[in-house]
A and B are shown apart, each in its own frame.
Chain A
Amino acid sequence: MSTALKFDPIRLPKECEDLRQEVRAFLKEQIAAGTFDPGGVGRDDAFNYEFARKVGEKGWIGMTWPKKYGGQERTFLERYVVTEEFRVANAPTRVFFTADRQSGPTLIKYANEEIKQSVLPRICRGECCFGIGMSEPGSGSDLFAARTKATKVDGGYLINGSKIWTSNAHRADYLIALFRTSPPTKENRRHGLTSFLVDMKNTKGISCNPIIQLSGLHEFNEVVFEDAFMPDSHLLGEIDGAWKQATSELAYERSGPERFLETFQVMIELVRVLGENPDLRAAEGLGRLVAQLHTLRRMSVSVNGMLQAGKEPVVEGSVVKDLGTIWEQRLPHKVREVAAFVEDEDLGNRIAFEEHLAFATTIAPKLTIQGGTTEVLRGIIAAGLGLRGR
């Protein structure tokens, strides 16, 4: 039973290390050119289209996708390296990150050829921002309670209802959203939802209301649909059968390095203020954090290696996100404790440390909610252990 969970010791191959050096050099260049400021924490400038375009030119968006759609057909482990180097450098990836991680792969699997030909290359060029329309005012973790309705009309569907907590919606070119095409059945409460590609820039009847987060950032939105028309061609996959399409993508969404590196810079600043000779207590605290991070990264690399090998490590991906987000949620509090007796005289170091600590502390509460709550993840792991149905 327990051996159903597998985390093979996977190493990044040589081509990944070459790529890593290339990515680091690129980031250094972009910082020097002023494309972005790596010290910029918690600012709203992560929608950086110039940076996105330059990343697109390097071929690092959609890099695992087929060449005919603008991709590079490189490996998931290579994408892993790009993702983690961007994250650690605090690079502004919001324009393309969602599309690169999950929307593009969904389109490749379920969209018609015409959409693939037109949309995917634009994502790869860094011109196209995506959001995910899942949650609704009455439906968050319980995805299958979604009620926003798609009514069949000639040539397509009319959408009525609203989505909420929709990150990027105010900037997005497209959403991939779930709408109700049929009521659930007695036998299967997951039945009746269909996935659509929503053109946010060219569809009448869609309005977007900002929701400001406690951090002061504007990521969330409420998206209201009033008789918004979706052509049949924008249907993704099986009518009423969206629930079958979600599972394998979850492993990608949940196991990546972004699940525990979002606030990694606070660790760098911690090392800086601790100095070369920390006291025993600080050394132990720092050592534990590094060991825990190393372990999480090895688990995450392992899951991505399994994905590359064509496996579907959905339960393992959930374990990575559960452990990773809990760890990162506690990180600022641990860092604060470890630094409790530091008396660093350098004002610059102090300011950077305080700023990163404040940012990490502020975003900590959301880490275990977004993209699958702790409770949902533990339910999936419990199912993997055979304790309940999936």
Chain B
Amino acid sequence: MAEKRAESQPVLEIRNLKVNFSTYKGIVKALNGVDLKLYSREVLALVGESGCGKSVTAQTLIGLLPENASILEGEMILNGKNLTKKSKEEMRMLRAQAIAIVFQDPMTFLNPVLTIETQLEEVFMLQKNLLREAVAIQKAEGDVKFADLIKAKSAGSSQTDKGASKKETKKVAKKLSIDLLRMVKLPDPKRILKQYPFELSGGMRQRAMIAMAFARRPSLFIADEITTALDVTIQAQILHLLKGLRDRIDASTLMITHDLSVAAEVADRIAVMYGGNIVETALTRALFRKPFHPYTQMLLRAIPNILNPVERLESIPGTVPEMINPPPGCRFHPRCPHAMEICKGERPKLLEVEKKHEVACYLY
């Protein structure tokens, strides 16, 4: 299934993206030419250790870089539109519709003084077209489900009811809210609509955030470490939910995580990041079966595996590169056991070594 998806056109393409941060210590070269493609309806996991630039990539995509950051080079193309050329206001509209993001800590992104109902309603009110479509379906069929709207969007056959009254739209919005909460498997959605974020547990808040993200019918869904703050049993629930929703929501997912095991559970494809570069991308199975890049190989041997216990774990010598004065050439070369003279010169390009398996390393 995953293989089939990857055949289609990329929904998102990032080309040679470079982002710098100016700090009082110097210029932090956070992204050093990131190349990434995300295909329609696939789940791509962006994996790396802290400081590798995975969250900066997400921030750049949604146009929420802090003031001291600047995009030096590169472009990001979402559905044929170049995001790097958008104004602040245009990016804001995109965040309201095409791109949705869920972060690690839902409590910082939910408004503590508004009920879940008000917050979901706000999302809908920003999307007049979606509501008008919903009213049209409601009138034609007597009932409306969120799934119908997704279907209408992917078929491109949306009918809108321009004369919908405010009362009608509000009623439809509530109906859709309940349906969405049911989709993310929150028990008793009617009661939850009336509750405030503090009344929900961590897992439930994350589900509510996911519901709000999907309420926009986004074409790009970014999940930034969404299970990191959760317990394992709750994490398993959320991952299971994401797997189940993937086929019902017409969106491509960019999943950012530091945990290779989590990526193994849900991703179709994995991109490994190191020091501001993508060093390897492959289909999930291929990456675990035959990792090419020395960093990926070492990283896989550094995680304890219950299925294959070892007496000693392999650790990667040295530390994550300092991004103010990063090592020249391949940023991994000071820690790499296979480093050659050429690695210190120019940065290796991401090249396809096997079908759908790209590696940035001079060994191949």
Please indicate whether A and B come from the same complex rather than being unrelated chains: no
